[in-house]
């Protein structure tokens, strides 16, 4: 046996510490069999842990779009978009995006993570100021850190705090306010109207992350900004194709000068290989389906509302959830893990979310409802959740 280096010893100690406070993570293999079911550890589970909100990841129309594109174009794109990787399908998808969003310009990007990191770090510089909701997605924080701009975090959904910070900022600095619209761990929604008012008052730009709202909100699934008819007040709308769209990739829509600048300065666009043509083909088809199938969004909201109301009636703390993401706050890490484990034994896949993803003592089990769930499946799950809740003295 080779001797452990100091480095290795330290890292192992760190991992052991995580284990001790029930924060150690492991990757568990889960296979989707047919939304909303998955197989994990050989067991069939009702999936209450997927962001595949409209059940599109297994949709035959998207599968066929991918098959056809692979047959015609192969599996890889070969280069970055600025080299030779800009397949004609990019033009088709981006034209469609512009139409769908009624926007001036659009870009398809490789993932939501690279989109946030790349957009913010390209647009913001040292000396600029970014105002960011405390519960924004990690990729937003990483983008701000990489940009070297000054980070001003405001309390979650607290526009009074945001205004206090804006008021203190020097008038001549460039200011960007960034917020998720639907928050991924709490399922609550930003006060976009309030933020827009402040953005105008303090001459800031506004960027929204619609990862969990794209496909879910708005008459054609264009996102929460459209749902509240504020899309024209938002300078940069970012969203993903990896959740409700059932495929992969991300987008940004904005004024042409912003998109032109990103093409020239966004490293996460310039220095990465373009998406495979098959993925672009599925995105193109998914936008079409998402735009048309409004009834799925209605079913999704009805399901979510029923599920949430039942949990609240039984005494669970569902935070301020208003969306298809419904958490129940447990508090302690170990109890949260036990809760998720007991649910798995009962046939339900749900995620235990612990710090640092959420604040200390706010560990929770996070449920995600989809349009492919049937009401009777949700009622069956609710019964189990209530049973486990009593068993573990959460309610």
Ligand X SMILES: *Cc1c(COP(=O)(O)O)cnc(C)c1O
Q: Which residues are catalytic?
A: 184, 212, 243
Between 251 and 386, whose beta carbon lies closer to ligand X?
A: 251
Separation of alpha carbons 312 and 55, rounded Å: 26
Between 117 and 299, whose beta carbon lies closer to ligand X?
A: 117
User: Residues in the site for ligand X, rule: CB under 6 A?
Assistant: 111-113, 116, 137, 139, 180, 184, 209, 211-212, 240, 242, 250
Between 121 and 184, whose beta carbon lies closer to ligand X?
A: 184
Smallest distance, Å, CB 385 to ligand X?
A: 23
Among all residues, whose Cβ is closest to ligand X? 112
Runs of H (alpha helix) within 58-214: 60-73, 88-101, 112-123, 138-147, 159-168, 192-201
Between 218 and 389, whose beta carbon lies closer to ligand X?
A: 218
User: For residue 229, how many other CB atoms are within 10 A of its CB?
Assistant: 11
**For the chain, how big is the Rg over CA atoms in Å?**
22
Smallest distance, Å, CB 248 to ligand X?
A: 7
Q: Which of 56, 50, 55, 141 is nearest to 366 (CA)?
A: 50
CB burial string 235-261: b at 16+ within 10 A, e below: bbbbbbbbbbbbbbbbbbbbeeebbee
- Do residues 270 and 80 make contact, with C-beta atoms less than 8 angstroms apart? yes
User: For residue 194, how many other CB atoms are within 10 A of its CB?
Assistant: 15
Smallest distance, Å, CB 47 to ligand X?
A: 17
Smallest distance, Å, CB 170 to ligand X?
A: 29
Residue 125: exposed, middle, or buried by beta-carbon count in 10 A (0-12, 13-18, 19+)?
exposed
Between 135 and 394, whose beta carbon lies closer to ligand X?
A: 135
Between 184 and 321, whose beta carbon lies closer to ligand X?
A: 184
| CA angle 105–181–152, rounded 5-degree value | 95
Phi first, then psi, for residue 270 (nearest 5°) are: -75, -40
Separation of alpha carbons 72 and 56, rounded Å: 23
Residue 337, classed as helix, strand or coil, is helix
Smallest distance, Å, CB 184 to ligand X?
A: 4
- Do residues 221 and 291 make contact, with C-beta atoms less than 8 angstroms apart? yes
Smallest distance, Å, CB 14 to ligand X?
A: 26
Q: In this structure, is the dihedral angle defined by the CA atoms of residues 272, 290, 368 and 159, taken in order, positive or negative?
A: positive
Between 119 and 166, whose beta carbon lies closer to ligand X?
A: 119
Task: Please confirm whether the linkage preceding 346 is cis (ω < 30° from 0).
Answer: no
Smallest distance, Å, CB 169 to ligand X?
A: 25
Runs of H (alpha helix) within the chain: 6-20, 60-73, 88-101, 112-123, 138-147, 159-168, 192-201, 224-227, 256-265, 267-270, 277-292, 294-313, 333-345, 375-391
């Amino acid at each position: 046996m080779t001797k452990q280096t100091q480095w290795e010893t330290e890292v192992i100690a760190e991992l052991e510490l995580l284990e001790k406070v029930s924060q150690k993570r492991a990757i568990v293999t889960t296979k989707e069999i047919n939304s909303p079911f998955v197989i994990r550890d050989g067991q069939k589970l009702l999936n209450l842990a997927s962001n595949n909100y409209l059940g599109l990841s297994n949709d035959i129309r998207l599968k066929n779009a991918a098959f056809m594109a692979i047959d015609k174009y192969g599996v890889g794109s070969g280069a970055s978009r600025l080299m030779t990787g800009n397949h004609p399908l990019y033009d088709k998808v981006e034209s469609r995006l512009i139409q769908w969003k009624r926007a001036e310009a659009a870009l398809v990007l490789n993932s939501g993570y690279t989109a946030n990191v790349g957009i913010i770090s390209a647009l913001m510089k040292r000396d600029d100021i970014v105002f960011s909701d405390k519960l924004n997605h990690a990729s937003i924080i990483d983008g701000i850190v990489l940009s070297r701009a000054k980070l001003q975090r405001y309390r979650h959904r607290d526009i009074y705090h945001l205004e206090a910070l804006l008021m203190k900022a020097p008038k001549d600095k460039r200011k960007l306010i960034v917020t998720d619209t639907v928050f991924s761990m709490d399922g609550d929604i930003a006060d976009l109207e309030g933020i827009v008012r402040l953005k105008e008052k303090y001459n800031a730009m506004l960027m929204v992350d619609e990862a969990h709202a794209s496909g879910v909100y708005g008459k054609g699934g264009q996102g929460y900004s459209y749902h509240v008819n504020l899309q024209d007040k938002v300078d940069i709308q970012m969203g993903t194709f990896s959740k409700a769209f059932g495929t992969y990739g991300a987008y940004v829509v904005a004024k042409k000068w912003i998109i032109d600048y990103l093409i020239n300065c966004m490293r996460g666009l310039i220095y990465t290989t373009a998406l495979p043509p098959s993925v672009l083909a599925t995105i193109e088809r998914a936008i079409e389906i998402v735009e048309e199938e409004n009834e799925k969004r209605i079913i999704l909201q009805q399901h979510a509302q029923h599920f949430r109301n039942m949990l609240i009636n039984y005494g669970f703390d569902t935070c301020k959830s208003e969306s298809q993401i419904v958490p129940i706050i447990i508090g302690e890490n170990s109890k949260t893990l036990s809760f998720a484990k007991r649910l798995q034994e009962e046939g339900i896949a749900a995620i235990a979310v612990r710090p640092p993803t959420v604040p200390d003592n706010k560990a929770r089990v996070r449920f995600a409802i989809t349009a492919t769930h049937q009401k009777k499946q949700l009622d069956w799950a609710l019964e189990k959740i209530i049973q486990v809740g009593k068993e573990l003295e959460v309610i």
